[in-house]
Structure 1
Amino acid sequence: MQCRFYQQKKCFSCQWLDRPYHIQLAEKQNKLLQQLNQFKPTDVKEPFASHETAFRNKAKMAVLGTVEKPILGIQTENEMVDLCDCPLYSNSMQNILKLVRTFIRKQELVPYNINKRKGELKFVIITESKIDDKICFMIRFILKSHKFVDRINNSFKQLQEKIQNLLVVSINIQSNHAAILEGDEELVLTKSPFLPMTLNGVPLFIKPKSFFQTNTDVASNLYKTASDWIANLPIYSIWDLFCGVGGFGLSCVSQGIKKNIQLTGIEISPDAIECATKSANNLGFKQLIFKSLDATQYAIAEQKIPDLVLLNPPRRGAGKMLSQYLEQMSPNYIMYSSCNLSSLVEDLKWLNNYQITKSQLFDMFPHTAHMEVLILLKKKSAHENKKL
C-alpha cells in the first residue's frame, strides 16, 4: 500500500507499511504457530488476508486546527496532520470526512485545543455499513460540553442532504481533560439510533456506543468460519459471552438446520444487547436470549452447562477466573476469538482439558502487528486425559 503520510513521516499508525503484505502475513502466521505450539493444535489453517486499502469501516479523527481551518486527523510532536485522504478508508468515507470538515468550519464548531484546554469539538467518529449494495453512515460529534448541541441539532440535516444514507447522527459529551474518547452521555439527533448492516445474510445493528469490528470483510469471513466449524457438531445450546451486537452467536444459529439452538448472549453494554435483541427479533428466532450482564458473573452463577461457549473478549482476554470456571464446568466445545495473542495464550493455559482442533488467523489489522485469531477447542476424552 502506498501512503504519502507514511512516506513523508507524518503518520506511523501503520507500523508495518514498509513490509510487503505477504511478508506481514507470514510473520504473523509464524508468531501464531510459535505461541500455539505448546498446546499442540491439531489444525492451523492458512491466514485469511484482508484488502490492503479501504478496509476500515470506522474513522476516529481528532478535531484540530482552528475554526477557520479545521483539521481531522492526528497531532504529532511537530505538527497537526489532516488524514481525510488516508488510504485505509474507502473513497466514500474520504469524501464524507471532507464534507464533515467543511460542516465544522461553516457551523463554527471550535476545535478543542489540548494544550490550552480551550475549544469544544474533540473528535469526529464516522462509521460505514453495508446493506446489500447500499452504503450507510453514522456520524458522532464528541464535545466537551453542551455549548454547541443546539447548533449541531439545528444544522445536521444539511449533512444529510449532502451525504446519502446518513442514517444516524449523535453527540457525545466528554467533559474530562483526559485521553478518553467518549463520555457517558449520548444525544441521538436522528429518529433512529440504529445503523443497520448485513453480514452473511444476518441483519445486524450498531448504536453509537456499540462496538463492532473495524474490518467488515474480514469480520464477515470470521463469523462465517465460526459458523462453518460448528455446523456439523452436536450443538444444541450456546453461550455467547462478550457477545457485543451478536455477530458471532447469530451467525452460528442462522444456518437453516441450526434454528432450534438455544442461544444466550451476554454483554455488559446495554446498547449492544439492545442491538442484538433487535437482530434476533428480525430473524424471528424464538430461542435467543440476550442479557446485559458481566460475562464472568453470569457464567459462574448459571448452573446449566451449554454444548458450546463462544468467547470474544476485549484485549484483556477472558481472564483467569472465567477460564478456570469453564475448565471446571467443562462444556463440550469452546470457540474463542481473540484480538490479543498474549491474553489468548494466558487463557489457554487454564484450559488443560481441551484440545485445539482448529485455528486460523484473520488479518483484521493489516500493516500492524495486531491480529485476530479464531480457535475451536474440544473437550478431551477421559482416555486422552489419562494419556497426559
Structure 2
Amino acid sequence: MVTLPHCAYFEAGRCRSCVLIETPCPTQLSDKERRCRELLPQVPESLWLPSVQGGTADFRNKAKLVVGGRAGAVTLGILGRDGAGIDLRDCLIQEPAIRHAIPHLAAFIEATGLEPYDVPRRRGELKFVHVTLAPSGDLMLRFVTRTEQALHVLRKALPRLLERVPSAVVVSVNLLPEHKAVLEGEREELLLGSSLEMGLGDVSLHLRPQSFFQTNTAVARALYAQAAAWVAAERPDTIWDLYCGVGGFALHCAAAVHGAPRVLGVEISASAVESARRSATEAGIAAEFIAADATAFALGSPAAETPHTVIVNPPRRGIGAELSAWLERAPAQRIIYSSCNPESLAADLAAMPSWGVRGARVFDMFPHTRHLEVMVLLERTV
C-alpha cells in the first residue's frame, strides 16, 4: 500500500488545498476513473488504458507562492480567510529542489526590505513569487510586484539573489499594480536569462516566464508519449496542434508524421510560439508554429488544408461550440483531445456525434485533488 504524506499543514487546518490527501491514492485514482467513465459513457471499458499515476509527494514542478507577513518576516504560501499570509515553505507536494529554494527566497525578500502586499488593506509591494523547476535542476523565478519601485529594488539586488539561489537561470519581475484576484499582470521585465529549458528526453521545451506547462513533469512525459503513440499507429501526413502552447504535443508527435512532415502548431501567445520555434530548430524538427486564436484559425482555413489529425489541448472551458461544430464537419480523420476538465470534454464530444472514441486514458496530473487530465483518441465514423 502506498504511504500517504504526513501533512502538518492539512492536519492543523492551515491549508486544505490537497483536499484528498487523507484518501488512499488508489482510491483517489479509482474515483477519478469512475468520474470520467460516468461522464463519457460512449467509451467502452475495453478502450480505457491503464491510468497514469501522479505520485504521492515531491511531484509538483511549480510553486505559486503568496508573499505575506511583513517586511523582514515574510511568509511564502497562501492567503488565509482573513487575508493574512500562511507560510507553506515545507509543502510536501513540491519537488525537493523547490522546497530547498523557498527558505532562501524568503531570506532574500526579507533582506530587500520590500513590504509584502497586504490584500485587505490594498497596500504593500510584493504579491507573489512563482518558482518553476526544470528536470536539470535549473529554476525560473518570477516576482509579482505592485510598483516600479519594487522592480528597481529587485534588479539592484539580483547578485544577492543569485548568491542565495544559484540554480536560478531565469529571473523576472511581473508588474501587477491593480488589486485583482489574479496571479500576474501583463508586463514582464526579464532580469536574467530568457527561458527555462524543460528537457523531456528527445525534445526540450523552452518556457518563458508567462508560458504554460503541465505541473507534473513525469505525467507530462507520459501524456506526450501517449499522444505520440496514437499518432505513430496511424502515420498521418499532416497534424494540427491547436492550443499548442510551447509546442509539446506537436514536437513530440512530429517524428510519427508520414513522408514530408507537415506539422503546424497554433497558439494565441506570441511568446509561446517563439519558444516552440526555438525548440523545433534546436531539435531539427520541421514543424511550423503561428500565433493565432485556435478557433479563428480553424474557421478561416480552406477545407482543402484540413489536416488528417487534429490535436487539441484547450483550457478548462473546452474547445467550445464553434470549434466543435467545425470539427464535426471538417474532413479530418482523427482527433486527439487532451482535457483538464472532463465535464467540458463531455459537452464538446456531445456536439461532435460523427466522431467515435477509439482510446482513452486518465492522467493523474494533480494528486490529492479532484482535478485530472484525460485524453481521448477520436476517429470519424460518418
Superposition TM-score, scaled by structure 1 size:
0.94
1:240 aligns with 2:244: no
The 1:259–1:139 alpha-carbon spacing in structure 2 relative to 1, beyond 3 Å, is farther
Question: What corresponds to 2:268 in structure 1?
Answer: 268
Question: What corresponds to 1:368 in structure 2?
Answer: 369
Deviation at 1:162, TM superposition (A): 2.9
Larger CA deviation: 169-178 vs 88-97: 88-97
Distance 2:31 2:58 in 1: 22
Question: What corresponds to 1:108 in structure 2?
Answer: 113
Q: Secondary structure at the match of 1:231?
A: helix
Distance 1:43 1:372 in 2: 17
The 1:153–1:323 alpha-carbon spacing in structure 2 relative to 1, beyond 3 Å, is same
Question: What corresponds to 1:88 in structure 2?
Answer: 93
The 1:41–1:267 alpha-carbon spacing in structure 2 relative to 1, beyond 3 Å, is farther
Q: Retained in 2: the 8 A contact 1:200–1:224?
A: no
1:317 aligns with 2:314: no
Deviation at 1:259, TM superposition (A): 7.5
Question: What corresponds to 1:169 in structure 2?
Answer: 171
The 1:334–1:216 alpha-carbon spacing in structure 2 relative to 1, beyond 3 Å, is same
- Percent sequence identity is 36
Q: Letter of the 2:369 partner, please give it.
A: T
> Which structure 1 residue ranges, 4+ long, deviate > 6 Å from structure 2?
none
Q: Retained in 1: the 8 A contact 2:174–2:184?
A: yes
Distance 1:197 1:18 in 2: 32
Distance 2:221 2:43 in 1: 27
Deviations 1:16-58 (A, max 9, x none): 1111000001111111111111455760112110111011111
Q: Retained in 2: the 8 A contact 1:200–1:251?
A: no
Distance 1:231 1:379 in 2: 18
Deviations 1:169-207 (A, max 9, x none): 0000001111011111100011x3111111131011000
Deviations 1:224-249 (A, max 9, x none): 11101121203010010000000011
Q: Retained in 2: the 8 A contact 1:41–1:355?
A: no
CA-based RMSD: 1.4
Q: Retained in 2: the 8 A contact 1:137–1:167?
A: yes
Unaligned runs of 5+ in 1: none
1:116-131 superposed matches below 5 A:
116-130=121-135
Residue 152 of structure 1: which of 151, 154, 158 is its match? 154
1:186 aligns with 2:188: yes
Q: Retained in 1: the 8 A contact 2:237–2:259?
A: no
The 1:42–1:326 alpha-carbon spacing in structure 2 relative to 1, beyond 3 Å, is farther
Q: Retained in 2: the 8 A contact 1:41–1:356?
A: no
Q: Letter of the 2:190 partner, please give it.
A: V
Q: Secondary structure at the match of 2:157?
A: helix
Q: Letter of the 2:94 partner, please give it.
A: Y
The 1:47–1:106 alpha-carbon spacing in structure 2 relative to 1, beyond 3 Å, is same
The 1:16–1:168 alpha-carbon spacing in structure 2 relative to 1, beyond 3 Å, is same
Question: What corresponds to 2:61 in structure 1?
Answer: 57
1:205-354 superposed matches below 5 A:
205-254=206-255, 260-286=260-286, 288-303=287-302, 304-354=305-355
Distance 2:81 2:253 in 1: 46
Q: Retained in 2: the 8 A contact 1:267–1:273?
A: yes
Distance 1:332 1:370 in 2: 30
Residue 141 of structure 1: which of 131, 140, 143 is its match? 143
